[in-house]
Amino acid sequence: MGKKQKVEAITPMDQDFAQWYTDVISKTELVDYSPVKGFMVIRPYGYAIWENIQKEYDKRFKETGHKNMYFPLLIPESLLKKEAEHVEGFAPEVAWVTHGGDKELGERLCIRPTSETIICSMYSKWLNTYRQLPYLFNQWCSVVRWEKTTRPFLRTSEFLWQEGHTLHETYDEAQEETMQMLEIYRDVAEKHLAIPMVVGKKSEKEKFAGAYATYTMEALMHDGQALQSGTSHNLGQHFTKAFDITYLDRDNNQAYPYHTSWGISTRLIGALIMVHGDDNGLVMPPKIAPTQIVVIPIAQHKEGVLDKAWEVFDGLKESFRAEIDDMDGYSPGWKFNQWEMKGVPIRLEIGPKDIENGQCVLARRDTGEKIQVALEDVSSEVERLLDEIQDNLFQKALNMREEKTTTAVDMEEFKKNIAETPGFVKAMWCGSRECEDNIKEATGATLRCVPFDQETIGEGKCVCCGEKADQMAYFARAY
Binding stretches for a copy of itself (CB under 8 A) = 1-4, 32, 34-36, 39-44, 46-48, 50-51, 67-76, 79, 91-102, 109, 111, 118, 121-122, 125-128, 131-132, 137, 141-142, 144, 146, 157-158, 160, 327
Nearer Cβ to a copy of itself (17/146): 146
- Least distance in angstroms from the C-beta of 113 to a copy of itself: 10
- Least distance in angstroms from the C-beta of 308 to a copy of itself: 24
Nearer Cβ to a copy of itself (248/361): 248
Closest among 58, 59, 57, 54 to 42, alpha carbons compared: 54
C-alpha torsion angle, residues 30, 34, 40, 42 (rounded to 10):
-40
Closest among 283, 223, 225, 219 to 13, alpha carbons compared: 223
Contact indicator for 477, 226 with CB cutoff of 8 Å: yes
- Least distance in angstroms from the C-beta of 92 to a copy of itself: 5
- Least distance in angstroms from the C-beta of 474 to a copy of itself: 30
Q: CA–CA separation, 66 vs 82, rounded Å?
A: 26
Nearer Cβ to a copy of itself (102/455): 102
- Least distance in angstroms from the C-beta of 183 to a copy of itself: 23
Nearer Cβ to a copy of itself (322/397): 322
Nearer Cβ to a copy of itself (158/366): 158
Other C-beta atoms closer than 10 Å to the C-beta of 445 total 25
- Least distance in angstroms from the C-beta of 103 to a copy of itself: 8
Q: CA–CA separation, 207 vs 66, rounded Å?
A: 24
- The one-letter code for the residue type at 136 is L
Nearer Cβ to a copy of itself (28/406): 28
Beta bridge partners of 450: 201
Residues with Cβ < 8 Å from 294, sequence gap 6 or more? 322, 323, 324, 325, 339, 344, 346, 347, 348
- Least distance in angstroms from the C-beta of 93 to a copy of itself: 5
The SS3 of residue 159 is: strand
Nearer Cβ to a copy of itself (27/202): 27
Q: CA–CA separation, 68 vs 19, rounded Å?
A: 38
Indicate the angle between helix axes 171-191 and 44-63, nearest 10 degrees.
140
- The one-letter code for the residue type at 164 is G
